[in-house]
Structure 1
């Protein structure tokens, strides 16, 4: 048992002193290793996430415009004709569900380079066809006056 009058600043000469210090050093080293590992992972994810965003943004933006056109046109048609056309109203509701961002930008639609597979998006293409059918049914012209 250590004498309570021992100087706390004197080096500890007991046989376990080196072992205790090495355990403390091992804990500190492990903590630094874990912190360094986590910092490296986070940094890597940030870089890769930014690269993925940069590569995929143009495609995602174009899809967003297409989806916006579909939903906007169906909404306008629903406002004008939804009370007399149950199919139109139902398709509008379906489009709102199916064309949510997490459905449109799902991994399965893209190749590893963040490009659309076969340059097409099956879901958006299908909804463009459905929307076109309703526009034709009600003789709605979507061209601008300066388009020829």
Structure 2
């Protein structure tokens, strides 16, 4: 049901009662820019269609600008909170992968190549920063240490120890 714009007078063309924005069943909640002029600004019956169109245009632009600024602020705050945590986890993952790559290069063992492949997949930054590891309200890491990083830190340290203990010989 379209209205002729007579919200201020309460009458539509032909003397019918003009629907109010609150009880208009044709209003689509998904459409923020409804077909009828339900802007909060008061429209005067003498306003030209150009003025009404300009009000609608500026209200829409204001809404979009406000929403964009709000989103940018949220993104910046999220970045400010998350960057230090992400950088720390990326450094830890990089150190683990570096040690494992050193083992692979030094010992040329198929088992080590498979270990490196698995470690690379599990310590992929997308996996490390998965939301399941973080508190949704504070963005802090759940627990004292990241589970995947802890797992691979232990595995790589064991691999280093086993390689260094087996390669050292004692001279009598």
When normalised by structure 1's length, the TM-score is 0.72
What's the CA shift for 1:22? Answer: 3.8
Measure, in 2, the Cα distance between the counterparts of 1:28 and 1:102.
46
Q: Which residue of 1 aligns with 2:160?
A: 135
Please give the per-residue CA displacement for 1:72-129, whole angstroms capped at 9, x wherever unaligned: 1111111111x3x222111101222221211111222111211101122111111111
Please give the per-residue CA displacement for 1:16-74, whole angstroms capped at 9, x wherever unaligned: xx98x643333322221221111111111111111122122222121111001011111
Q: Provide the secondary structure at the position in 1 that maps to 2:143.
A: helix
When normalised by structure 2's length, the TM-score is 0.63
Matches within 5 A, 1:1-148: 22-81=48-107, 83=108, 85-111=109-135, 112-139=137-164
In structure 1, the gaps of 5 or more residues are 1-17, 141-148
Of Structure 1 and Structure 2, the greater helix share is in 1
> Pairwise CA RMSD of aligned residues?
2.2
Relative contact order higher in (CA < 8 Å, ≥ 6 apart) = 1
In structure 2, the gaps of 5 or more residues are 1-43, 166-172
Measure, in 2, the Cα distance between the counterparts of 1:27 and 1:94.
60
Measure, in 2, the Cα distance between the counterparts of 1:26 and 1:95.
62
